Amino acid sequence: MLTKAHLAHNVVDFVNDWCWTYDPREIGKDKSPFMPFDLFPKQVEFLWWLQECVENGDEWLVEKCRDAGASYLTVAFCVHRWLFHDAFKATFGSRVEDAVDKAGDPDSIFEKARIILKRLPLWMLPPGFDERRHSLYMRLINPANGSVISGQGGKNMGRGGRSSIYIVDEGAHIDQAEKVEAAIIGNADCRGWVSSVNGMGNLFYRKRQNDSVKVFTFRLEDDPRKTPEWIARKKASTDPVTWAQEYELDYGASAEGVCIPGPWVQAAVKLGKLLGDRLERWTSPTAPGVAGMDVGGGGKGKTVLVIRKGPVVRVPKSWNTPDNITTTHAALDETRQAGAGVMNYDPIGVGNTVTSTLKHANTDGLKVYPINVGDSPSDAEWPDGRKAKEMFANLKAELWWTVRCAFQRSYELLLFLEGQEGGCDHPLEDIIVLPDSKELTGQLPVPKWLKNEKGRIGIESKLSLARRGIPSPDFAEALVLTYAPEPIEDFVMPSITPVFGGRGAGLLS
């Protein structure tokens, strides 16, 4: 038998030999719902990975398919540290307190810990440990070494105290996750987010795209219990969206109501690699193009410049500074160097600084237009014969819908090239091709569309996004500005409200 001294330095042997889990699905199969861990290789890898994160003070994230055991493993890991490491403190947080600790509910985090503790031999428990005094509501105390496992829920997560490790359970499903993050940054250096995926419009997805956050992935194929026969049966009885999201870790699957679905965005990225030389006429320095600039005010608000040549979108440029005078000149230089002849920008709010700067800037060779997306739609006529003014609540909705249609054509073209059902051979002039930009691809599938009381299409406001804990989609907004119809008259200072003609929002080709 392994000694206590050995177990103190080997979390894998501790979990494999002494920890128990609970699965009520075994009831009725002549089996007990309580069963010892039998770690499969990916779970072993995860425990060593998590130990390294704790020792290095890393921020980390676990994206998991359903039934991977990730939550139970984090609990077992923390119980191990609680037993064998002096003054260790782990804190678990979740969207509601009941998910952290609810007496008798084995789905709650602390009941998982109690299931493990109750099945340890007495010689392994801390000297003096009394369940009545040391296993409390959202608090497990080790009286021998001062270690603690604590819990928090809802809006109180991260407030006060310090921890060796802070773990946010189901982090992709938490409202106002930005506030949670701000709170837990001061609570622990080692912070972890464990969750199934929940679309692209949340902090969890943005962290997944952040290269400074360590990522561990539990895929369906990592679990040896999930045989091809099991997968076929489960997939046949599960709706496609749920299957893609819960089992295939498809962030674009939960796209209900979004203006530009995630799969369409990924298709535009894939087309850029697939079409290659067929896009050459738009990738040359002399090809005409248009730039869109979304103006930020420093801090979290970036100024972003996106340049599009026909269907081809270049890698965005961004500046994180409140000095919009210098940024305006930098954007003009970038636009010229790219060979684009038009630059559109949003003049509202902090965009006024750009308008003032342009009065004195050298714009020779460029057409620069302020585009107020709150204005009325253009006079363009859509293929079904309706005027844009009949279809859209404002210019913003018209532009987003124009971009949406380009992405839909890209998706259909990709299906056609891959020989899949639903494909269509669209002209390249009518599609959109994206670079592999995490910021751009992460923001485009976020804003939702809706209809107002007059039945006209509108796009989710920045205020509504903020209520969902989502920052302004500055990269996406900059791209959308490249689709603005060119005014009849050239830009003349100091006017900032152009009069739109009937060109619509056609692609430059």
CA distance 286 to 292: 18
CA-nearest of 432, 385, 374 to 404 is 432
Terminal CA-CA length for the chain: 74
CA distance 185 to 196: 22
* H or E stretch covering 370: strand 367-370
**Confidence at 324, pLDDT banded by 50, 70, 90:** confident
Q: Regarding predicted confidence, which is higher, 321 or 62?
A: 62
Residues 6+ apart with CB under 8 A from 60: 50, 53, 190, 191, 192, 193, 213, 214, 215, 216
Task: Name residue, tokens 């100091």.
Answer: 494
Compute, in degrees rounded to 10, the torsion defined by CA atoms 235, 236, 237, 243. 30
Contact 214, 63 (CB under 8 A): no
Q: How big is the chain, counted in residues?
A: 509
What residues are paired with 59 via a beta bridge?
Answer: 191
**Quick check: 332 pLDDT over 50?**
yes
Task: For the chain, list the domains and their CATH numbers.
Answer: 41-246 (3.40.50.300), 300-481 (3.30.420.240)
The predicted pLDDT at position 219 comes to: 94
The predicted pLDDT at position 320 comes to: 85
Q: Regarding predicted confidence, which is higher, 326 or 46?
A: 46
The predicted pLDDT at position 472 comes to: 87
**Quick check: 312 pLDDT over 50?**
yes
Q: What is the mean pLDDT of residues 150-169?
A: 88
**Quick check: 123 pLDDT over 60?**
yes
The predicted pLDDT at position 256 comes to: 67
Q: What is the pTM of this model?
A: 0.74
Highest mean predicted confidence (pLDDT) among 147-151, 180-184, 344-348: 147-151
The predicted pLDDT at position 202 comes to: 84
Q: What is the mean pLDDT of residues 197-205?
A: 85
Could you tell me how far CA 349 lies from the centroid of its own chain?
Answer: 27
The predicted pLDDT at position 364 comes to: 77
**Quick check: 165 pLDDT over 50?**
yes
**Quick check: 497 pLDDT over 60?**
no
**Confidence at 314, pLDDT banded by 50, 70, 90:** very high
384-402: per-residue pLDDT in tens? 889 999 999 999 999 999 9
**Confidence at 495, pLDDT banded by 50, 70, 90:** very low
Q: Regarding predicted confidence, which is higher, 415 or 490?
A: 415
Give the whole-number percent of the chain exceeding pLDDT 70: 93
Highest mean predicted confidence (pLDDT) among 188-192, 483-487, 493-497: 188-192
The predicted pLDDT at position 369 comes to: 92
